[in-house]
């Protein structure tokens, strides 16, 4: 069977399953999710054995230690997968929500109702737990999932999917086989083949580094919701409470620097730069943050900060994901907005100010998925937004923007209920 | 300047304009729309002169008469463009709507607010009035538009855009120049160049024939919302009121056969085929509808219907856009659902039945943008749905589905209003 035939078979099975999944009621889906969670814990040994094969192979390759660590499935991670599935079972069913309802003058009743998207391809890198997390969210929202993890995690991913599938089938014999599938081949060419099947595949969500996401977006013929980089900013306005500004600037950078909603650039209003920069620098110094400062910030900080470098143009575009921060002095809120819209990735950006008019200007003018006033950008997250769980954070503008929870994994249809209405 | 440079300049100007458009309030936008409408009427002579150049050239080519007719701008069509813009001015502003609002346990207040999408490329065929209609809807929803009509309408399209732009600028000197632009070149290659500019272009909406839409979807690197064909169905269930079924089947086919929400296939429950088919055939005969019938329907109708042909497999996929209808006898609602999901285009499909359980099964099982119970499929339309005006009808599942009015031309962002919240 050619790669194209293999992918077509996979996608066709997913499409067929998606029609059945769309009709499952919440209690059936929740039963299956809880059964999957139990089975993941019960089969921890089997999962660890499959994972050991992957880890063994990875040790023999030149994989970086951090990546190797992400690949490992231990009891803690297995328990976390099970817990995640149980939490998804607890969340309200996003399917069937009535988004809008109206009766037209001719008596035709319209209901805009949330429905599953259909078949979702998830492409991700080395963490095998994504298999359970993503499949669980897609299943609860009535979608069939085709998972394509890194080839280094193939055995782990397949084992997880098999455990989930057989648990669901045991609980509910009518469980559609094509609901959760792992791409069974490692060839790179499988991705463009799969993402060319517009008849069967409805959406692709790539999760991972910039290279992966770009490659997927380049080759896909189906819609892609990208979960891209976060070049996030915090702007300290002259009207800010300096104490609050200091705490937010610290939290947004150092609380977890390796994630997409941590700030990468600090913008400081010229009017308060002389006061604020030395203050925040003392805090950053405690955390060994390297600062890449523009000429003006450099002048203020120079001599008083060890890890100080001049910023170059490329720094404004950089997602460090590390204890590194670009710093720029700007001329008020308008310059801050212009900087963010020019260099940012439209992910999460914030202002600290006590002045409402300035805040409103910032909130309206910054074109990002999440815009903050007097809070850390670190809250851009499905859990923090009350969605319960997220499949990622969209940096796209069509379909879903910002954190994607269960509701963001649905589309809608219009039900039109009449009593014989004709168009004249 | 190379084509790429030209397209980049166009797209960059649109992006810059979109930032300003996003901040305009409703009254400013409505003023501009009314000024555009007045100017279109005032400059009817100028528009007709520009159009005459296009029509002249088209007469010299081998353009089909129907297409030539669509190209012509007469006083009636000019008045309709102006009326359309005034109607859009009357519609509520879709920008700034609060879609969801919540306060998290930590006091962080979240507001999900509708915002413009940004830069929208509209690709369309010969009707020049689309220039005014599409640009008006995009402008009201705060988006910058780049219009690419057929090359045969280039002079007309540019003249319309120029009249709109200069009227808006006269009314409001700060009106951003890049808000409404017509691609100034006719090369085919302009489209892939433009749709490769992911940095500036946020969405493409192609409107036209299947060939155009496929070509756009193939080459685009930006999201595309397709307005594809409507292979729409009506299913007459055994529980239908035969009189109602007859009227709906007639209306859905003949009231305006050349549009996407007219039915192309009639499915009839076996239990009532012997009764219903001869009845509806008498009505279709009055309108000279050609029927392409499956073996069973053929047997029922044969000898009693002049324009009767056997259906072939290809007929089930066909969008006739004409007084032609495929007819199939099916075994109840399940078979009807299966037929529609297999052969349909997920546009608009309906059931006629008096049985609520059967209707519910159909409404849940048919995976189309609009699903009807006891009403003509012809209502799938922005105006009929109460959206006021539409840019088209999406057959896609990501972004917008079904009729796209002003609200469907927006995305959203999250405003996160705090008082110093930090992530722990």
Which residues of chain B make contact with A248, given a CB cutoff of 8 A?
Answer: 420, 422
Confidence (pLDDT) at B404: 97
Which two three-digit tokens encode residue A70?
A: 């992400």
pLDDT digits (tens, 9 = 90+) for B115-128: 999 999 999 987 89
Which residues of chain A make contact with B248, given a CB cutoff of 8 A?
Answer: 420, 422
Which two three-digit tokens encode residue A121?
A: 């391809």
Whether A15 has a pLDDT exceeding 80, the answer reads: yes
Architecture label for domain A232-379? 3-Layer(aba) Sandwich (3.40)
The shares of helix, strand and coil residues in chain B, as percent rounded to the nearest 5, are: 45, 20, 35
Confidence (pLDDT) at B270: 98
**Strand stretches in A195-296, DSSP E:** 203-206, 232-236, 263-269, 290-293
pLDDT digits (tens, 9 = 90+) for B246-257: 999 999 999 999
* Nearest alpha carbon to residue A132 among A424, A142, A122: A122
CA gap B199, A230 in Å, rounded: 15
Whether B169 has a pLDDT exceeding 90, the answer reads: yes
Q: Which chain B residue's Cα is nearest to A196?
A: B218
Mean pLDDT of B310-317: 98
CA gap B68, B59 in Å, rounded: 8
CA gap B390, B409 in Å, rounded: 10
Looking at the complex, report in whole angstroms how far the Cα of residue B420 sits from the nearest Cα belonging to chain A: 5
User: Reading across the β-sheet that carries B180-182, which strands appear in turn?
Assistant: B180-182, B144-148, B119-123, B203-206
CA gap A86, B284 in Å, rounded: 56
Is-above-0.90 flag for pTM? yes
Answer for the pair A225, A394: CB distance below 8 angstroms, yes or no. Answer: yes
CA gap A225, A223 in Å, rounded: 7
Return the DSSP state at B93.
P
| Residue in A116, A379, A400 to test binding to B, most B beta-carbons within 10 Å | A379
CA gap A145, A201 in Å, rounded: 10
Q: What percent of chain B has pLDDT above 90?
A: 94
B371–A117 CB contact, under 8 Å:
no
User: Residue A126: which pLDDT band, with cuts at 50, 70 and 90?
Assistant: confident
User: Residue B389: which pLDDT band, with cuts at 50, 70 and 90?
Assistant: confident
Answer for the pair B264, B294: CB distance below 8 angstroms, yes or no. Answer: no
User: Residue A125: which pLDDT band, with cuts at 50, 70 and 90?
Assistant: confident
CA gap A210, A231 in Å, rounded: 12
Q: How far apart are the two ends of chain B, measured CA to CA in Å?
A: 53
The shares of helix, strand and coil residues in chain A, as percent rounded to the nearest 5, are: 45, 20, 35
User: Residue A228: which pLDDT band, with cuts at 50, 70 and 90?
Assistant: confident
pLDDT digits (tens, 9 = 90+) for B5-40: 999 999 999 999 999 999 999 999 999 999 999 999
pLDDT digits (tens, 9 = 90+) for B173-182: 999 999 999 9
Confidence (pLDDT) at B185: 93
User: Residue A25: which pLDDT band, with cuts at 50, 70 and 90?
Assistant: very high
Compute chain A's Rg from CA coordinates.
Answer: 24
Whether B224 has a pLDDT exceeding 80, the answer reads: yes
A126 touches chain B (CB under 8 A): no
Looking at the complex, report in whole angstroms how far the Cα of residue B55 sits from the nearest Cα belonging to chain A: 32
b/e code B158-196 from CB counts within 10 Å (16+ = b): bbbbbbbbebbbebeeebbebbbbbbebeeeebbbbbbb
A402 touches chain B (CB under 8 A): yes
Which of A255, A369, A399 shows the shortest C-beta gap to B399? A399
Mean pLDDT of A191-197: 97
Whether A102 has a pLDDT exceeding 80, the answer reads: yes
Give domain limits for chain A.
3-228+400-417, 232-379
pLDDT digits (tens, 9 = 90+) for A280-297: 999 999 999 999 999 999
Which residues of chain B make contact with A397, given a CB cutoff of 8 A?
Answer: 117-118, 202-203, 223, 411
Answer for the pair A272, A391: CB distance below 8 angstroms, yes or no. Answer: no
Looking at the complex, report in whole angstroms how far the Cα of residue B387 sits from the nearest Cα belonging to chain A: 11
| Residue in B241, B369, B397, B401 to test binding to A, most A beta-carbons within 10 Å | B397
Looking at the complex, report in whole angstroms how far the Cα of residue A87 sits from the nearest Cα belonging to chain B: 19
- Residue range B3-228+400-417 in CATH 2.30.30.100: no
User: Residue A208: which pLDDT band, with cuts at 50, 70 and 90?
Assistant: confident
Which two three-digit tokens encode residue B363?
A: 């409404």
Which of B118, B223, B416 shows the shortest C-beta gap to A223? B223
Mean pLDDT of A209-227: 92
Q: Which chain A residue's Cα is nearest to B241?
A: A420
- In three-state form (DSSP H/G/I as H, E/B as E, the rest C), the secondary structure along B285-348 is HHCCCEEEECHHHHHHHCCCCCCEEECCHHHHHCCCCCCEEEEEEECHHHHHHHHHHHHCCCCE
Mean pLDDT of B147-162: 96
Which residues of chain B make contact with A232, given a CB cutoff of 8 A?
Answer: none
pLDDT digits (tens, 9 = 90+) for A337-353: 999 999 999 999 999 99
B397 touches chain A (CB under 8 A): yes
Residues 200-239 of A with CB under 8 A from B: 202-203, 217-218, 221, 223, 225
Which of A104, A241, A370 shows the shortest C-beta gap to B414? A370
Answer for the pair A23, B365: CB distance below 8 angstroms, yes or no. Answer: yes
Confidence (pLDDT) at A66: 84
């Amino acid at each position: 069977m050619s790669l194209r035939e293999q992918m077509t078979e996979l996608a066709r099975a997913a499409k067929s399953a998606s029609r059945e999944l769309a009709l499952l009621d919440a209690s059936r889906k929740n039963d299956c999710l809880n059964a999957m969670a139990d089975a993941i814990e019960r089969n921890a040994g089997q999962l660890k054995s499959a994972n050991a094969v992957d880890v063994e192979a990875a040790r023999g390759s030149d994989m970086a230690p951090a990546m190797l660590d992400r690949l490992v499935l231990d009891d803690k991670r297995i328990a976390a997968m099970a817990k995640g599935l149980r939490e998804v079972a607890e969340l309200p069913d996003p399917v069937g929500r009535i988004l809008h309802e109206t009766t037209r003058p001719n008596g035709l009743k319209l209901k805009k109702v949330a429905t599953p998207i259909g078949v979702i391809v998830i492409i991700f890198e080395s963490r095998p737990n994504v298999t359970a997390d993503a499949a669980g969210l897609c299943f609860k929202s009535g979608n069939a999932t085709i998972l394509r993890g890194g080839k280094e995690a193939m055995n782990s991913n397949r084992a997880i999917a098999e455990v989930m599938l057989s648990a669901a089938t045991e609980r509910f014999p009518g469980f559609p086989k094509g609901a959760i599938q792992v791409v069974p081949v490692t060839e790179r060419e499988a991705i463009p083949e799969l993402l060319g099947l517009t008849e069967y595949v409805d959406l692709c969500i790539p999760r991972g580094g910039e290279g992966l996401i770009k490659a997927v977006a380049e080759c896909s013929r189906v819609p892609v919701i990208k979960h891209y980089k976060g070049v996030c900013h915090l702007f300290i306005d002259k009207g800010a409470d300096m104490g609050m500004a200091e705490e937010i600037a610290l939290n947004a950078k150092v609380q977890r620097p390796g994630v997409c909603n941590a700030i990468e650039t600090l913008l400081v209003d010229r009017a308060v730069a002389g006061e604020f920069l030395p203050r925040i620098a003392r805090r950053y110094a405690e955390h060994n943050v390297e600062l890449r400062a523009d000429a003006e910030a450099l002048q203020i900080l120079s001599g008083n900060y060890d890890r100080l470098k001049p910023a170059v143009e490329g720094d404004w575009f950089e997602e460090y994901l590390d204890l590194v921060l670009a710093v720029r002095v700007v001329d008020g809120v308008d310059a801050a907005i212009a900087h963010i819209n020019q260099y940012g990735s439209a992910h999460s950006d914030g202002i600290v100010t006590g002045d409402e008019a300035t805040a409103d200007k910032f909130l309206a003018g910054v074109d990002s998925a999440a815009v903050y006033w007097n809070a850390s950008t670190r809250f851009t997250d499905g859990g923090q937004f009350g969605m319960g769980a997220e499949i990622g954070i969209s940096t796209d503008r069509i379909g879903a923007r910002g954190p994607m929870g269960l509701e963001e994994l649905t589309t809608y249809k219009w039900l039109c209920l009449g009593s014989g209405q004709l168009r004249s």
